[in-house]
Amino acid sequence: MKKLAEIAHSRAGDKGNILILSLIPFDSNDFDLLVEKVSADLVKNHLKNQVKGTVTRYVLPELKAFQFTCTDALAGGVTTSLALDAHGKSLSYALLELEI
Amino acid sequence: MKEKIRIGCGAGFSGDRIEPALILVEKGNLDYLVLECLAERTIALAQKRKLQNPDLGYDVLLEKRISGLLPLLLKNKTRLITNMGAAHPIAGAKKIIELAKEQGLKVKVAAVFGDNVFSFLSGDEYSLENDIPIHSYGKLVSANAYLGVEAILPALASEADIILTGRVADPSLFLAPMIYEFGWEVDDFEKMGKGTVLGHLLECAGQITGGYFADPICKPIPDMHILGHPFVDVFKDGHGVISKVEGTGGAITVQTTKEQLLYEVLDPFHYFTPDVIADFSTVKIEEISKNQIQINGGGGNSKPETYKVSVGYEAGFRGTGEISYAGAHAVERGELAAEIVRLRLKDKIQNLKIDLIGMNSLHPSEFSKESQPYEVRLRVTGMCDSLQLAQEIGEEVEALYTNGPAGGGGARKYVEQVVGVVSTLLERDRVKSSFQQFST
């Protein structure tokens, strides 16, 4: 088992109440491993206390990267959220805690 | 028609640093400088300032940014395109003329407007977020359509040195000069897609040169205290090379570029702007030399039939109080303090969020099970209908000094009026943009 942080990096973005997390392997040789291991279901389960909606995974073989689009994930969204990190900018590092 | 143009991005959000733009214009040999300073909520707040004073409503940092830039822009014949007009581009343009006169400079400014669609909405339109009428969120205060390149192009065709817009889609600020200089057709969606890719990569300024990327363990970035902002050489066929000024800090790499390409993109196969539904999945990112990244690919084949409209509404008052505990049993005393405040406020404020900073304020508790902080900071925050009630949250936390657990220190309290933002759609033909030119 290893944490995603050891083999990949991620950036968090937001659109309203939707959280968007990229996942990019440091070494593109690890792309296939991530395709196999990091499913939308796994990410949803990992972030279940944060993401109340669905997780959609986009696989980008040309870029050797992934996008995870998570609905109902930011306590209402940046403008009215009560969260300290209302944008969810730190949540990339929550994804990278996932062990595979 | 030109074969190549250079566009720099000197600000990626309203509060961005001032000097990277100055360095770009002074040493970057730019044709165009873009400053992207308008977040979703910023324009609603600007609208409120305009209601209080009809001479205001443009970006609060406009004066500070423009004063230093003006002489450099004019000397180097760099045109500026910026959304710092916010809720009132005309007032912003007048302010720029005033600043130019003070410095004895001659300048032409085009104020682009038409994004304010507040008077076109009845309130019965449905929100994209929750599929309920927008009036049900609260008192509406602003409604701005995300305009595209067609709003900027007429101003580019004028003599204006500075083009000041309100709400325009961020990539359109970059795509418009490409269309204008290369003679691209706006229904050449392949080119619109390629140009949108380049605009999207640049629009957050420092986020492609190492900002929001750096991690000293696995993604080190040099000299972030003098982080350079990016520029792109765009070629007539739609490919580009992204770089930064020699001697500035930061780094542009394949990794920084990939992170920014996917930033805030809901669906990389269908990225919606007013100009195109762009395909980011086919973008090719290649390092051609240090801090020089070549971008090929990307495209598109249609554009949306509607404009997206950001609607601002009065969402109430957010009150917050904080207090810290350290040393032995810091977490337990923080939890006790949280429980005291919860019991004191539970009958008055339904929606209260209680965090222990250092434990669980950023991520849900499942990620912090094993952490043992030396200190924790209690944070209590809630949304209230009235200012008075919102103030009570901070007052209750502050009262823990003498009524709460041992060793509570550093209490702070604050209240902010909250403008919420939701989105709706509007038919294209209901929105008419225009511009007005001002000169010294």
pLDDT in tens, B213-259: 999 999 999 999 999 999 999 999 999 999 999 999 999 999 999 99
Any chain B CB within 8 A of the CB of A62? yes
Domain A4-95 of CATH type 3.30.70: yes
Domain B315-423: which topology? Alpha-Beta Plaits (3.30.70)
Query: Using a CB-CB distance cutoff of 8 angstroms, which residues of chain A are in contact with residue B258?
Result: 22, 24, 63, 65
* HSE of B155, CA atoms in CB hemisphere, 13 A: 31
Mean of pLDDT values over B307-316:
94
* Residue A49, min C-alpha distance to chain B (Å): 6
**CA-based nearest residue to B291, from B251, B340, B332, B322:** B251
Task: Give residue B119's pLDDT.
Answer: 94
Mean of pLDDT values over B153-170:
97
Q: Which of B283, B381, B421 shows the shortest C-beta gap to A82?
A: B381
Full-model pTM: 0.95
- What span, in angstroms and rounded, lies between the C-alpha atoms of B294 and B285? 6
Task: Give residue B371's pLDDT.
Answer: 66
Mean of pLDDT values over B295-303:
97
Share of chain B above pLDDT 70, in %: 99
pLDDT in tens, B323-339: 999 999 999 999 999 99
Are B214 and A93 in contact by the 8 Å Cβ rule? The answer is: no
Burial of B237 (0-12, 13-18, 19+ CB in 10 A): exposed
Is B384's pLDDT higher than 90? yes
List per-residue pLDDT tens for chain A, 100 residues long. Answer: 999 999 999 999 999 999 999 999 999 999 999 999 999 999 999 999 999 999 999 999 999 999 999 999 998 888 889 999 999 999 999 999 999 9
pLDDT in tens, B129-151: 888 999 999 999 999 999 999 99
- What span, in angstroms and rounded, lies between the C-alpha atoms of B167 and B145? 7
**Do residue B268 and residue A58 have CB atoms under 8 angstroms apart?**
yes
Are B244 and B230 in contact by the 8 Å Cβ rule? The answer is: yes
Any chain A CB within 8 A of the CB of B260? yes
Task: Give residue B368's pLDDT.
Answer: 66
Task: Give residue A75's pLDDT.
Answer: 87
* Residue B381, min C-alpha distance to chain A (Å): 6
- What span, in angstroms and rounded, lies between the C-alpha atoms of B228 and B260? 16
- What span, in angstroms and rounded, lies between the C-alpha atoms of B318 and B311? 19
- What span, in angstroms and rounded, lies between the C-alpha atoms of B133 and B143? 14
Strand pairing class (B277-279; B230-235)? unpaired
pLDDT in tens, B400-430: 999 999 999 999 999 999 999 999 999 999 9
pLDDT in tens, B18-62: 999 999 999 999 999 999 999 887 888 898 888 889 999 999 999
* Residue B362, min C-alpha distance to chain A (Å): 6
Residue A36 phi/psi, 5-degree rounding, is -75, -40
Q: How confident is the model at residue B370 (pLDDT cuts 50, 70, 90)?
A: low
Task: Give residue B281's pLDDT.
Answer: 98
Q: How many helices (H) and strands (E) does chain A have?
A: 3, 5
Joined together, the tokens standing for residue B88 give 């009132």
Sign of CA dihedral B279, B309, B127, B45: positive
Average pLDDT in chain B = 95
Are B314 and B344 in contact by the 8 Å Cβ rule? The answer is: no
Domain boundaries, chain A: 4-95
